Amino acid sequence: MDLPNVQTYLRPADLESVKDWQQGWAWLSGGTWLFSQAQPNITTLVDLEKFGWSEIEVTPDGLAIGAACIQNQLLEFSWPENWQGTKALESAVSHLGSFKVSHIATVGGNICLALPVSTFAPVMIALGATYEIWHGGFAYRVRALEFQTGVQQTILQPGEVLRKIWIPASNLEWQTSFQRICMASDGYALSTVVAAFNSQSNQVRFGLGACVSTPRLVEFTSIPTAGDIADVLDEQLPLHDFVEDDRGSASYRRQITQVLMERSLFELCHP
């Protein structure tokens, strides 16, 4: 889609070149969402391409993913054999969109768009990721769980940009399961559940998305029963926390979320 209100296109060589952030400016990375609909409030695009933030780095401490990493790169990368958690990253790409989208859209773009149906947000929460955020010459880190504050709302302030996603190596050794249920008519997710299981300690982490307006984390110190899952959902996620719209009621979303949690747990504990 054309963006007739855009008057200026900037392609800086580094972040230090971007000074005095103005109202109406917007970061441009993959652009698959940005150019998919009208953007009447955007007058200037600031392209991240020359920053070179598309790296995938494997270190003894863990995994770093540049915010501008094209999603399909996660499918093509050769992961360490003991990093079973990377299967969840691959599922986030596979379940997100079409071939065209996955070859253009970026990991950071999906996270920063902060849609409830994001496939990456619950994965990052289940894997205990942290995000590195830059503002000019300063940087700070925040847990993935704390990043999204609402529908298309994040903690990012004007001029701030997501630089990198960091996942500890120990978390990537957990087994993962990605479960998602969608409307047959439009493919819109009603609930996404990403489970991570530590077979040594029996710890279980669930990243929940689509069923709630902001991704949530549910944790267990041992393998839960169906009753345990139901009790924790009732305690931590009251019914009004679940999305209710013309696609499904809050009670329906809560019910299918529990079903997906049980299904993912069975998959992980009974391979």
Same domain, 145 and 230: no
Report, as an integer, the average pLDDT of 161-189.
Answer: 91
Report, as an integer, the average pLDDT of 109-126.
Answer: 95
Please check the confidence at residue 64 and state whether its pLDDT lies above 90: yes
Q: Which residue has the higher pLDDT, 25 or 271?
A: 25
Report, as an integer, the average pLDDT of 185-190.
Answer: 75
Same domain, 37 and 76: no
Packing angle between helix 250-269 and helix 226-236, nearest 10 degrees? Answer: 140
pLDDT for res 97 = 67
Same domain, 157 and 242: no
Domain of 157, in residue numbers: 52-170
Residue 108 binned pLDDT confidence (cut-offs 50, 70, 90):
very high
Return the CATH number at 107: 3.30.465.10
Q: Is residue 94 part of a domain?
A: yes
Same domain, 144 and 196: no
Same domain, 20 and 103: no
Q: Is residue 97 part of a domain?
A: yes
Report, as an integer, the average pLDDT of 119-134.
Answer: 97
Return the CATH number at 181: 3.30.390.50
Please check the confidence at residue 186 and state whether its pLDDT lies above 60: no
Same domain, 219 and 263: yes
Task: Convert the pLDDT of each residue in 32-50 to its tens digit.
Answer: 888 888 888 999 999 999 9
Residue 188 binned pLDDT confidence (cut-offs 50, 70, 90):
confident
Last residue of a domain, one of 170, 186, 214: 170
Alpha carbons 183 and 190: distance in angstroms, whole number: 7
pLDDT for res 99 = 74
Tokens representing 52? 């070179």
**Tally of domains within the chain:** 3
Q: Is residue 2 part of a domain?
A: no
Same domain, 151 and 197: no
Q: Is residue 1 part of a domain?
A: no
Q: Which residue has the higher pLDDT, 182 or 125?
A: 125
pLDDT for res 1 = 57
Give exposure, 71-107, as e/b (b: 16+ Cβ within 10 Å): bebbeeeebeeebbbbbbbbbbbebbbeeebbebbbb
Q: Is residue 139 part of a domain?
A: yes
Report, as an integer, the average pLDDT of 165-178.
Answer: 97
Q: Is residue 204 part of a domain?
A: yes
pLDDT for res 103 = 87
Same domain, 159 and 96: yes
Please check the confidence at residue 95 and state whether its pLDDT lies above 70: yes
Same domain, 34 and 83: no
Task: Give 62's strand partners.
Answer: 59, 168
Among 57-71, 77-91, 95-109, 192-206, the range scoring the smallest mean pLDDT is: 95-109
Task: Convert the pLDDT of each residue in 234-262 to its tens digit.
Answer: 999 999 999 999 889 999 999 999 999 99
Same domain, 117 and 107: yes
Residue keyed to tokens 């007058």: 43
pLDDT for res 137 = 74
Same domain, 142 and 102: yes
Length of the chain, please? Answer: 271
Same domain, 141 and 179: no
Segment 21-26 long-range contacts (CB within 8 Å, at least 24 positions apart): 21/158, 21/159, 23/158, 25/158, 25/159
Alpha carbons 117 and 171: distance in angstroms, whole number: 23
pLDDT for res 5 = 87
Q: Is residue 233 part of a domain?
A: yes
Q: Is residue 137 part of a domain?
A: yes
Q: For 95-133, give the secondary structure using H, E and C.
A: CCCCHHHHCCCEHHHHHHHCCCCCCHHHHHHHCCCEEEE
CA Rg value for the chain: 19
